Amino acid sequence: MYKTYAIWTGIALFACNEAFARSEEQTDNRNIPSVRMKEITVSSEAFAVPNERLLLDTPTTTGSRLGLTPRETPASINIIDRATFELRGAQTTQQILERSPGITVSDQPGSAGTVCMRGFCGTQITQLFNGITVQYDVVAARPIDSWLTERVEILGGPSSFLYGQGAVGGSVNYISRTANRDQQGHESLILLGSWLNRRAAYGYNGRIGDTDNWLQVHAGYKGSNGYVDKTQHNSGVFSFSLLSDLTSRISNTIAIEYQKEAREAYWGTPLLNPVTAGKYDPETRFKNYNAENPVFDQQVIWVRDIVDFHLSEATQARNTFYWYDAGRQYKNVEVYRWNATNTRINRSASFATDHKQNLIGNRLELSHQQNLFGLPAKWLAGTDIAFNDQTRFPSTESGLAVDTIDPYNFTVGDYFDNPRASGPIKDRRNKLFTVAGYAENQLTLLSGLNLVSGIRVDHIELDSRKYTPPTATEPVSFSRSWTPVTWRAGFVYDVTDSFNFYTQYSTAASPPGSILTTSNFSSIRDFSLSTGKQIEGGMKFDFWEKRGTATIAGYYLQRRNISTRDPDNPASVIPIGAQSSRGVEINLGVRLSPQWHFQGNMAYVDARYDDFNELANGISVSRKGNRPENVAKWVANTWLSWNFHPDFQWMLATRYVGDRYANAANTIPVKPHIRLDTQIAWQAHRNARIIGRIMNLTNTDYIEWATSTPMYLIGAPRSYEVAVKLDF
């Protein structure tokens, strides 16, 4: 495999070198146009009318680094552009993502960036920020104000060959708004809703005078008093970017983002005994048993510098330097359980921690179009070097009982009222150094038949140091290294210019039992990385005289070598577990008439543990054949829009999430639910739009997420909001 990679990369670099020489000879006196690389910005003209046709012909940066469209990529890719998620009322990145095919999400405080897709959840889904992973995605990808987001792209299945270790179930890419040449003007937003939900935002993008510089500035505030007691939330976001054409061949983009958030956490509502009934007391529906003045805060800075070189019409290069700095603070009481008679609630798991994370890296890519053996081809080769440094400060009293309270009339103390609360104490620092080389290719074998392939080699070095006293299973320090090779090969066959079939095989590599930036010795020991593989096939097509578009995908996905309890020694874990899923996803968009638009998606997944043991009362118990926690077999969404007047539009959105289980034993059920949202938008002026929304129209009690504690995170009841959007 290494030899294949070396040969492939060598061919790509040789071809590019030859192209440079020829291009210099042919273009010495040629006027090269300003750089307009579609990886930086995609013109708004590339996007369709919201809630109408799917975006199958818009170049993406997530399914491939070659700038292919979803129609050209042998994988399931969904794009949600800004016009669409604004119309749907999505206020956070997670709300944008939530209604994509087969996806469920949770902003539970411990892992506020949790995403499930294709039968895998949490750390098995890579979440990217402009194509960059911070390798702590399930925590770092907590929902933030979507005002800074240009679009979200979702790739189904393994993608380690693009982004490195992780990404077994899929990848999500949050793409920020940056300075671009296609837009000029100001915009603002004011919103007010139930529980004093509030939002205010302003943005500008435009050219600076007659210069070759474009400026973008966006700032937003979002707050709420919360539908559950003691869940106030305030956040602010800011971004600035400057795009400059330095020469006719070179452009540079400097982009800075800042996010600050303070939240009071709701960890869930406890289930009544017996918990196997899956019921909670309605009178506790809006109760929060967390400590007074709980802390669930975050501060993030992103800096990127992107240089694009237009070497010739066929050859381009890009260098991206990136720096990420994040601090997170937690002080909570996290677990609540009814006593045996369902008369009192026992509070436990007082816990405080701070996270300090810093990531610095550089990515260099070279792309080229040139015939190979007489066949049209696109090539890309790149390197990515990243240093990730994370220190954790957990408290020492984690898991201990706190107190017992009346569930209906109670007073809880501050976190530090617990005499055993230690507060954050420096415990472990993990330094992760990654060097990667990768290559991709699109090769036209026959008219209409394309081979799309990619390969990546990562060298990962982990150094971990423990600052608290060592134990028998946790030494003061340890080091580990891995060198995974991951790849994809797929075919796309265009039956016509608007109908194609595709098939692909892809692989992934991920940590066996934890996140490398926070892992300890007992969780990884001498284990190799887990491996994943997927076989996928499907079709993408237009229909009804191109008024509609649709995609259909079927897949089989498996992850092996995951950590599981040793059946002969329950106190130990061994890397022999396996988990798999198979399923079908359908995505549809159609213009029914000039007034009526429709989009919808449906996903079915059969996910199971193939080999997995869990510790239950000190005994290793097999969960083979069970469904993973919080994975729904069926998920479906629809949007129906009606422009019943030139200035008015009505929309109805539906969401169905099937039954799930709260635990690996599949003994705690989570009932299915249907939610309805509706809205009316009025174009009051050519520059002003007023929108009134009702969310959860039928006031359904639905479960967003379930924990094996067991507790339910119950979703928001019926709510209302009014927003005013100005463009000028």
Q: What is the DSSP string of 630-677?
A: T--SEEEEEEEEEEEETTEEEEEEEEEE--EESSTTS-SEE--EEEEE
Phi then psi for residue 104, to 5 deg, are -125, 155
Is the pLDDT at 17 greater than 50? The verdict is no
Nearest residue to 92 via CA among 103, 111, 105: 105
Determine the pLDDT at residue 429.
96
Determine the pLDDT at residue 568.
67
Paired residues of 723 in beta bridges: 191, 691
pLDDT, average across residues 678-687: 95
Amino acid identity for residue 546 in this structure: K
b/e for 355-370, b at 16 or more Cβ within 10 A?
bbbbbebebebbbbbb
Determine the pLDDT at residue 715.
95
Amino acid identity for residue 602 in this structure: M
Nearest residue to 563 via CA among 626, 507, 521, 605: 521
Please report, for residues 12, 279, 518, the alpha-carbon distance to residue 126 in angstroms, rounded to integers and kept in the order given.
28, 33, 16
| Continuous segment of H or E residues that includes residue 26 | helix 2-26
Amino acid identity for residue 341 in this structure: T
Is the pLDDT at 492 greater than 50? The verdict is yes
Distance (Å, rounded) from C-alpha 224 to C-alpha 270? Answer: 24
pLDDT tens track for 509-521: 988 767 888 888 8
Sign of CA dihedral 50, 56, 57, 59: positive
**Higher pLDDT residue, 274 or 22?**
274
Distance separating the N- and C-terminal Cα atoms of the chain: 55
pLDDT tens track for 373-415: 889 999 999 999 999 999 999 999 978 899 999 999 999 999 9
pLDDT, average across residues 253-267: 96
Determine the pLDDT at residue 130.
96
pLDDT, average across residues 646-658: 96
Determine the pLDDT at residue 24.
38
How many helices (H) and strands (E) the chain has is answered by 6, 38
- In sequence order, the 6+-apart residues with CB closer than 8 A to the CB of 689 are 681, 682, 683, 724, 725, 726
pLDDT tens track for 422-453: 999 999 999 999 999 999 999 999 999 999 99
pLDDT, average across residues 317-327: 98
Determine the pLDDT at residue 587.
97
Query: Percentage of residues in the chain with pLDDT exceeding 90?
Result: 80
The residue range of the domain holding 131 is: 2-727
Sign of CA dihedral 97, 73, 589, 603: negative
Determine the pLDDT at residue 470.
87
Determine the pLDDT at residue 30.
31
Query: Do 635 and 116 touch, CB atoms closer than 8 A?
Result: no
pTM for the model:
0.91
Which residue in this structure is represented by tokens 């069926």? 634
Q: Does residue 710 have a cis bond before it (omega within 30 degrees)? A: yes
Query: Percentage of residues in the chain with pLDDT exceeding 70?
Result: 93
Nearest residue to 375 via CA among 440, 446, 313: 446
Per-residue confidence band for 55, with pLDDT thresholds at 50, 70 and 90? very high
b/e for 153-189, b at 16 or more Cβ within 10 A?
bbbbbbbbbbbbbbbbbbbbbbbbbbbbbebeeebeb
pLDDT, average across residues 16-36: 37
Distance (Å, rounded) from C-alpha 708 to C-alpha 725? Answer: 42
DSSP 209: T
Determine the pLDDT at residue 10.
42
pLDDT tens track for 594-642: 999 999 999 999 999 999 998 888 888 999 999 999 999 999 999 999 9
Distance (Å, rounded) from C-alpha 385 to C-alpha 457? Answer: 12
pLDDT, average across residues 331-359: 96
- Highest mean pLDDT (candidates 108-112, 157-161, 284-288): 284-288
Per-residue confidence band for 244, with pLDDT thresholds at 50, 70 and 90? very high
Is the pLDDT at 11 greater than 70? The verdict is no
Determine the pLDDT at residue 522.
81
Distance (Å, rounded) from C-alpha 690 to C-alpha 681? Answer: 6
DSSP 274: S
Q: Quick one: tokens of 195? A: 């529980």
Q: Quick one: tokens of 269? A: 């509502």
Paired residues of 134 in beta bridges: none
Nearest residue to 73 via CA among 587, 491, 533, 603: 491
Q: For the chain, what is the domain count?
A: 1
Is the pLDDT at 524 greater than 70? The verdict is yes
Query: What angle (nearest 5°) sits at the alpha carbon of residue 583, between those of residues 578 and 584?
Result: 160
Query: Do 322 and 360 touch, CB atoms closer than 8 A?
Result: yes
Determine the pLDDT at residue 20.
38
Mean pLDDT of the chain: 90
pLDDT tens track for 69-99: 999 999 999 999 999 999 999 999 999 999 9
Paired residues of 251 in beta bridges: 245, 308
User: The domain that contains 19 carries what CATH number?
Assistant: 2.40.170.20
Least confident window among 41-50, 450-459, 717-726:
41-50
Determine the pLDDT at residue 670.
96
Taking 3-state DSSP, the helix, strand and coil percentages for the chain, each rounded to the nearest 5, stand at 10, 55, 35
- In sequence order, the 6+-apart residues with CB closer than 8 A to the CB of 386 are 359, 360, 361, 362, 432, 433, 434
| Continuous segment of H or E residues that includes residue 140 | helix 137-140
pLDDT tens track for 536-570: 999 999 999 999 999 999 999 999 988 877 776 67
b/e for 477-505, b at 16 or more Cβ within 10 A?
eeebebebbbbbbbbbbbeeeeebbbebe
Return left, alpha or beta for 468; rule: phi > 0 is left, psi -120 to 50 is alpha, else beta: beta
